Amino acid sequence: MIGERRQARLGVLFRKEIADIVEHRMSDPRVGLLSITTVKVSADLSVATVYVSKLGTEEEVETSLNTLRQASSFIRGELAKRIRRIRQIPMLRFYEDEGLRQGERVDNLLRQWHEEEQAKGSE
């Protein structure tokens, strides 16, 4: 087990390195343009949960995530070459960071509410 501060520092380091690997070392066009928003490392360093943000349709986001999942051993190998401070690089799990989608939903709901209020006021 490692301390929470080290977990957080490793998460930041992994986020930076994974983003660089995806941008510069992967040549798969299915990944597209995306952001690695957060990486959370488990206390025993066995799993790193990688949150990804991408604009586009749900199908495009899912394609990008599946491509990253298929390339996880490549990305993990690249991390091992770059990070020598830890004995074992954790397994990588990729998920969509739904913050962007939730923000879009809230924005759409507010816009819809505003339009309905304006329609009521003009009656």
Is the pLDDT reported for residue 88 higher than 70?
Answer: yes
How distant is the alpha carbon of residue 105 from its chain centre?
19
What angle in degrees, to the nearest 10, is found between the helix axes of 4-24 and 72-82? 110
What does the pLDDT look like over 12-64, one tens digit per residue? 999 999 999 999 999 888 998 899 999 999 999 999 999 999 888 889 999 99
* Closest C-alpha among 57, 70, 61 to residue 28: 70
As beta bridge partners, residue 36 has 52
pLDDT for the residue 58:
87
pLDDT for the residue 123:
65
Average pLDDT over residues 75-102: 90
* CA distance readout (Å), 28 to 9, 40, 114: 29, 25, 42
Q: What is the CATH number of domain 4-98?
A: 3.30.300.20
Domain ranges of the chain: 4-98
Least confident of 46-50, 88-92, 97-101: 97-101
How distant is the alpha carbon of residue 54 from its chain centre?
8
